[in-house]
Amino acid sequence: EVDSFKGDVTFSNVNFAYEDGKPILKNISFQAKAGEKIALVGPTGSGKTTIINLLMRFYNIDSGDIKIDGRTIQDYQISKLREKIAIVLQDTFLFSGTIMENIRYGRLEATDEEVIAAAKMASAHRFIKHLPARYETLITSGGSSLSQGQRQLLAIARAILADSDILILDEATSSIDTRTEIEIQQGLNRLSEGRTSFVIAHRLKTIENADRILVINQGELIESGTHEEL
């Protein structure tokens, strides 16, 4: 087994249907080179999340091939595959425990200093240091005592700590205050540096900054290129 991925990702003629048999992805082909930022755009229900589900092997494809670093993903041990891919979702999984424990979930053997360094890189340190017990503050399951923006900052810190080779990001759609929004952008920029990243993009700025945009419509890749090209 490999220790790390370079992060080349290739989809070749990928077809996929969920259990109900309705075709959801139709002949999807694209290549992401190591370190590139790819924006996935398209209307709701077009298949963006499904592409991610297949890359993570939450489902198996019906035909075609998905390769990472030139090797079909079926050939990797599933746990290894998922270890190499970090996901930052709109609503991050937080468990009942301290802030420290929740960030450390990214890499369980990390020291307190490493957790705090990751939080600083993620721009999460500012809000954490104003909490009553700072890193020892207890959060309830689901993190309801935190704002959505704060939860996303913790997810970014966790992903920075995990140091994965490939990053998947589902950009927040809900309104987040400007300061937190800026911090999230800073955190994400640091997180995605040097990693192949796939962003389910909702903001124009993200799309403008992407190395490549994949436009999905009804399960088909209808356009691909840079912002200038499209």
Residues in contact with ligand ATP by the rule CB under 6 A: 18, 20, 24, 42, 44-50
Residue among 23 and 97 whose Cβ is closer to ligand ATP: 23
Nearer to ligand ATP, 54 or 154 (CB): 54
Beta carbon of residue 133, minimum distance to ligand ATP (angstroms, whole number): 36
Min CB(101)–ligand ATP separation in Å: 30
How many degrees, rounded to 5, is the angle at CA 229 between CA 191 and CA 223? 85
β-bridge partners, 65: 12
Report d(CA 179, CA 127) in Å as an integer: 11
- Shortest distance in whole angstroms from residue 30 CB to ligand ATP: 15
Nearer to ligand ATP, 49 or 137 (CB): 49
Query: Which residue lies nearer to ligand ATP by CB, 59 or 93?
Result: 59
CB of 126 to ligand ATP, least distance (A): 30
> Contacts from 98-101 at CB under 8 Å and sequence distance 24+?
98/133, 98/135, 98/136, 98/137, 98/138, 98/139, 99/128, 99/131, 99/134, 99/135, 99/136, 99/137, 99/139, 99/154, 100/135, 100/136
